[in-house]
A and B are shown apart, each in its own frame.
Chain A
């Protein structure tokens, strides 16, 4: 099955059941997938900075808060129903010692706060630790899997 790759600060939507959205190399950033199981449309994003400090930033999708709001809105505009959307996230990893710069933890905090504000509930997650992940969303059935670097794959 062909993959659609999502890089850092990218947002992509798919409604073709033949595709899988794949977010590789998730470390302290957050891999986010949203899926409407009725309309069978899904989206994925990979923001890596917690909060947008400047409204004029030319690349707002790199921020967790802006990116989540954008992804939900983009899905709605393409036919998804916010009421039936589910959200799954992975990432927020940290260094062995992230003293002074807890980017992973702050990204997770921003994700939780933004999702609550957007009234979106998280149905599955694989977060924290010191590990790189890949997050995948199968558009045909909404199945979400996480590949933990060097540890194998699991459904969330």
Chain B
């Protein structure tokens, strides 16, 4: 059953809203080191709604800029092309993530809040530990639960079995997903990301965000997203029936070099950041 179901689900990825062409164009542009802020702005300016949203985000407390940003080109010059690409992805992801996940018992808006929270947290952790990954970590945190949206639509009946196993045996939700379905939401999310031709580092972050030790590459990015996801769940943001039924990966903590005291400090900063982004949730 699992292979057949998995094939059906992977085919269903075509039914998701497509990644907007602007994001695909930006992904291509960003690969070229010669791309300028002007090039990035030229692509984004074709989409007026996206331009407005990006400027709103750039002027939010998330970036703490003292000067008001009035153009995408100016934003790219100050924040960097990669930051603008991350923001553009976030603005477009809203239409995919803003929905109720009844199977996971996650209310409408809560998945989006969780995604934004995980993005902000991943960015903060990366900024402290691996600054070069800051912008990619934001995008990876944003997209990490992509698989839940897809699974939620296709395995509604099986969720009852999964939830029962988790409750009775106190095992991680992903382990129960694997036992009942033969795969879990991280695998489906990674397959969707592959189908969308997202970069490998994002695919790895989506695939290993619950089991960071299994990542062979992009381990630093995976660890940032893993820890940020844990923080958001501990805060109760987007915490459905699967919420606390997961494990903290000790190797990820070691890789990040984070002890209890620093974890609390980071959690506190993540909360501040999440609360400062609440005005961006519409």
Contact = CB atoms under 8 A, between A and B. Distances in A.
Interface stretch (B140-148, B190-198, B242-250): B242-250
Interface string A38-51: 00000000001111
Contact of A96 (B236, B244, B271): B244
Contacts of A103: 234, 263-264, 267
B interface, how many residues as a size bin?
20 to 34
B265 interface: yes
A28 B234 contact: yes
A9 B244 contact: no
A27 B247 contact: no
Given A27-B243, A48-B271, A53-B265, A99 B236 contact: no
A26 interface: yes
Contacts of A101: 230, 248, 253, 260, 263
B32 to A, nearest CB: 40
B237 interface: yes
A102 interface: yes
B237 to A, nearest CB: 7
B172 A8 contact: no
A97 to B, nearest CB: 4
B271 A62 contact: yes
B241 interface: yes
A130 B239 contact: no
A127 B188 CA distance: 35
Contacts of A20: none
A149 to B, nearest CB: 7
Nearest to B172: A96
B105 interface: yes
A interface, how many residues as a size bin?
35 or more
A95 B271 contact: no
B239 A27 contact: yes
Contact of A102 (B170, B243, B260): B260
B14 interface: no
Residue of B265, B268, B272 most packed against chain A (CB within 10 A): B268
A100 B250 contact: yes
Contacts of B253: 100-101
Given A25-B239, A101-B260, A150-B241, A96 B246 contact: yes
28 contacts: A8-B235, A9-B271, A27-B234, A27-B239, A27-B243, A27-B244, A28-B234, A28-B235, A48-B234, A48-B267, A49-B268, A49-B271, A50-B264, A53-B264, A63-B268, A95-B230, A95-B233, A95-B246, A95-B248, A96-B171, A96-B246, A100-B260, A101-B230, A101-B248, A101-B253, A103-B267, A149-B105, A150-B105
Given A9-B275, A98-B248, A130-B170, 13 more contacts: A8-B235, A24-B236, A27-B236, A28-B235, A48-B271, A51-B264, A93-B244, A95-B248, A96-B244, A100-B253, A106-B260, A132-B239, A149-B105
